[in-house]
Amino acid sequence: MIKIHKENKYKNDSLSGVLPIFKESGMTSHDVVSKVRRLYCTKRVGHTGTLDPMATGVLVVLIGRAAKAAEYVEKGIKQYKAILRLGIVTDTGDITGKVLSESDVPKNIDIQKIENDFSGIIKQKPPMYSAIKIGGRKMVDLARQGITVDIPERDVHIYSLKIEKTKKNEEYSLDVVCSSGTYIRTLCTDIGNSLGCGGTMSALCRTQNSGFTESDCLKLEELEKIPFDERKNLLIDTEQLFSSNPKVYLNSFLAKLAMDGNCIYQKKAGYSFSEKTRVRLCDDRGFFSLGEVMDYNGESVIKPIKKFRIENCPYDKTDR
């Protein structure tokens, strides 16, 4: 049980940084966020992508000003390990749902063909039991009320798909590297449908997200045992979320302009990145803002699109 003194609750809103958590089965992503709020005594906590309650794995939690990064990193590449159970169809697409039908499974399954058919850019329809909002309401809430919504298909990218037979009858392990927005439950369902027997997801673990893997994560029970002062030092620099974006170093004059929200001419900064390139804006104190290259009256400029530094903040991991 976590004990929080009333005078300390939500006291440390100056904290900022990234905290990779290994979410265990049975918890919602919101449960994790709520517990981190209490453990760090701060209101401003978010994450880079929801995991279903039955799923386990990497949940990248964002604290303080780092929470503003969510909209810029949610579209990154993610990796999952899942178990596909063939011959069963459920209303949720996973083993927790109501069984709608059961069928015999073909004896000779061409795994290579399945891997090829479901790799690359494919069409996928999000499941009704999902957090996607329609008219301001989550689809999962509509589904629980018996309301069905026709959801259009959308493109997702499966960069890699490896399938192996497990020791259990009718079960196959999936190792998937995919774009954000890919539903592994739907992938399992679609594979089952392509074989004519149906399928459902019986287990899911996210092994990589936003550049972090399972080995980078702490479990909540481990975090609870760490004293608060040491807990603060576990926060990772927000900049690491954008490690794949090129750095732009600015002198003190240009950095001050950028910190005030002004666009910076590339030629004055000594850079020539192509339009729409996102960059890390840095000065002699380090990373302070995410920027994007764009055209301004025929000139190439870098526009600061999200500032992450708080001036004179002792705990801000972007201000070091």
pLDDT of residue 191: 97
- The answer to the question of residue 133 being in a domain is yes
Same domain, 252 and 218: no
Same domain, 145 and 183: yes
* pLDDT at position 125 over 90: no
- The answer to the question of residue 317 being in a domain is no
pLDDT of residue 320: 39
Q: Return the HEC string of 227-256.
A: CHHHHHCCCECHHHHHCCCCEEECCHHHHH
- The answer to the question of residue 134 being in a domain is yes
Condensed to tens digits (0 to 9), the pLDDT of residues 251-278 reads 999 999 999 999 999 999 999 999 999 9
Same domain, 136 and 227: no
| Rg for the chain, CA atoms, rounded | 22
Same domain, 271 and 170: no
Query: Across residues 179-204, what is the average pLDDT?
Result: 95
- The answer to the question of residue 4 being in a domain is no
Burial of 142 (C-beta count, 10 Å sphere; 0-12/13-18/19+): middle
Question: In DSSP terms, which residues pair with 206 in a beta bridge?
Answer: 57, 80
Query: Across residues 184-213, what is the average pLDDT?
Result: 96
Classify 142 as helix, strand or coil: helix
* pLDDT at position 302 over 90: yes
Same domain, 71 and 215: yes
Same domain, 201 and 87: yes
In this prediction, residue 311 has a pLDDT band, given cuts at 50, 70 and 90, of low
Same domain, 176 and 117: yes
The dihedral built from the CA positions of residue 73, 79, 83 and 89, taken in this order, carries a sign that is positive
Same domain, 146 and 216: no
- The answer to the question of residue 235 being in a domain is yes
Active site residues: 52
Per-residue tokens: 176: 């998937």
| Contact between residue 204 and residue 82 where contact means Cβ atoms under 8 Å apart | yes
Condensed to tens digits (0 to 9), the pLDDT of residues 7-54 reads 345 556 678 999 999 999 999 999 999 999 999 999 999 999 889 899
Query: Across residues 273-295, what is the average pLDDT?
Result: 96
The dihedral built from the CA positions of residue 294, 74, 61 and 214, taken in this order, carries a sign that is negative
Number of domains in the chain: 3
Same domain, 218 and 69: yes
In this prediction, residue 319 has a pLDDT band, given cuts at 50, 70 and 90, of very low
* pLDDT at position 313 over 50: no
- The answer to the question of residue 5 being in a domain is no
**What is the rounded distance in angstroms from the CA atom of residue 47 to the CA atom of residue 68?**
10
Quickly list H helices, the chain: 29-40, 70-73, 111-117, 139-144, 184-194, 220-224, 228-232, 252-259, 266-269
Same domain, 277 and 260: yes
- Domain ranges, residue 263: 245-307
Condensed to tens digits (0 to 9), the pLDDT of residues 220-238 reads 999 999 999 899 999 999 9
**What is the rounded distance in angstroms from the CA atom of residue 202 to the CA atom of residue 174?**
11
Same domain, 21 and 92: no
Which one is predicted more confidently, 31 or 68? 31
Q: Mean pLDDT, the chain, as a whole number?
A: 88
Same domain, 89 and 191: yes
Give the chain's count of helices (H) and strands (E): 9, 18
- The answer to the question of residue 316 being in a domain is no
- The answer to the question of residue 11 being in a domain is no
Paired sense of beta strands 88-90 and 99-102, if any: antiparallel
- CATH assignment at residue 273: 2.30.130.10
- CATH assignment at residue 150: 3.30.2350.10
User: Which among 83, 52, 61, 55 has a CA at the least distance from the CA of 16?
Assistant: 61
